[in-house]
Chain A
Amino acid sequence: MNMNDFRLDSEPKINSGFQIPENYFETFSEKVMLQLPEQEPKVISIFQRKRRRTLIMAVAAVLVIALSVPIYNNLSTDSTEIDAATLENYITDQSTINQYDLISVLEAEDIENIKIDSNLEDQTIEDILATNGNIEQIITE
């Protein structure tokens, strides 16, 4: 072995040479404490906030659906449903459907409603009685 050979154990200990900024450790723990995740009770509060948000979103969704139902119905009326006027014309013009047929499909409640609706003026009733020749037959029935 050469005299000039470098021997770690015969050298005075070589330190790393790293320096640390002054007061670094005095502020370090505070810096870390601020970064720690929230503790249990606060974790629950985040959860509750999440739940509240879910609730708000659910209410919003229900509102959107509720508001869109009439719009949807209006849209579909045009295509698939028969409006009241068409229905009335159909019943009036169809000779095969008579008043007995109509009565037979109506519930007692429906008939009650018709009575309320057909609140005719006296004059109109008189006109009908005067012009209808079969009135006696209808009354006796």
Chain B
Amino acid sequence: MEEKEFIQQLLNPKTQNEAFQKLLSDYQRPLYNHIRNIVLNHDDADDVLQNTFVKVFQYLKTFKGDSKLFSWMYRIATNEAITFINQKAKRNGTTSEAMQSKLVENLVSDTYFDGNAIQLKLQKAIAILPEKQQLVFKMKYFEEIKYEDMSEILGTSVGALKASYHHAVKKIELFMTKD
């Protein structure tokens, strides 16, 4: 099915429910993984994912079709997840960076984190990167999103994304090597 046709179905009140069910079943897993990689714990990822789909539904009317539906949804999910972390940091009277490190510390006792020492250390290494490098690294390394798609999602050139990833990898390798 053409994407335009699918969007029409999503906007038509008669076909809307069925089309949205399909959108949910197609995107809930990849978007969950994307959000979980940012917010780290399951309950928060669940909250953010629900908000993401509700927003997608609300703003479908304004979707211009300038980008692909999937990258538009990823963009909403990314914004929702980053906003969530920032608000959580604000509520706790701390910075977003400090909150990231705290969330990684919490992974040790998280029932839904089954990471070994290397996985935990990798998360710690990622948490100290600048926000954009974190995002690019997670999307490339864990989610294996192509640079072209990532460029559309994040509104950054492919060249800049490759540079970000390269810097991220260098810093992570340095962190993993020492101690």
Chain A: residues with CB nearer than 8 A to chain B?
Answer: 2, 4-8, 14-21, 24-25, 28-29, 31-33, 35-37, 39-40
For B107, the closest partner residue in chain A by CB is A17
Which of B46-54, B147-155, B156-164 is the contact stretch? B46-54
User: Smallest CB–CB gap between A98 and chain B, Å?
Assistant: 84
Interface residues of B in 1-38 (CB under 8 A from A): 13, 16-17, 20-21, 24-25, 28-29, 32-33, 36-37
Given contacts A18-B113, A25-B28, A32-B54, 20 further A-B contacts (CB under 8 A): A6-B176, A14-B122, A15-B119, A16-B37, A16-B115, A16-B119, A17-B107, A17-B114, A17-B116, A17-B120, A18-B36, A18-B37, A18-B112, A19-B42, A24-B46, A28-B46, A28-B49, A29-B21, A29-B25, A36-B57
Interface residues of B in 29-73 (CB under 8 A from A): 29, 32-33, 36-37, 40, 42, 46, 49-50, 53-54, 57-58
25 contacts across the A-B interface (CB closer than 8 A): A5-B173, A5-B177, A6-B173, A8-B172, A14-B118, A16-B33, A16-B142, A17-B115, A17-B116, A18-B33, A18-B37, A18-B42, A18-B113, A19-B112, A19-B113, A19-B114, A21-B42, A24-B46, A28-B24, A28-B49, A31-B50, A32-B50, A33-B21, A35-B50, A39-B13
For B142, the closest partner residue in chain A by CB is A16
A21 CA to B20 CA in the complex, in Å? Answer: 23
For B111, the closest partner residue in chain A by CB is A19
A35 touches B119 (CB 8 A): no
B82 within 8 A of A: no
A5 CA to B40 CA in the complex, in Å? Answer: 27
A20 touches B42 (CB 8 A): yes
Interface residues of B in 90-132 (CB under 8 A from A): 107, 112-116, 118-120, 122-123
A33 touches B118 (CB 8 A): no
A20 CA to B46 CA in the complex, in Å? Answer: 10
Which A residues lie within 8 Å of B112 (CB)?
18-21
For A40, the closest partner residue in chain B by CB is B13
Which A residues lie within 8 Å of B57 (CB)?
36-37
Total A-B pairs, Cβ < 8 A: 81
A35 CA to B58 CA in the complex, in Å? Answer: 11
User: Smallest CB–CB gap between A59 and chain B, Å?
Assistant: 34
B54 touches A8 (CB 8 A): no
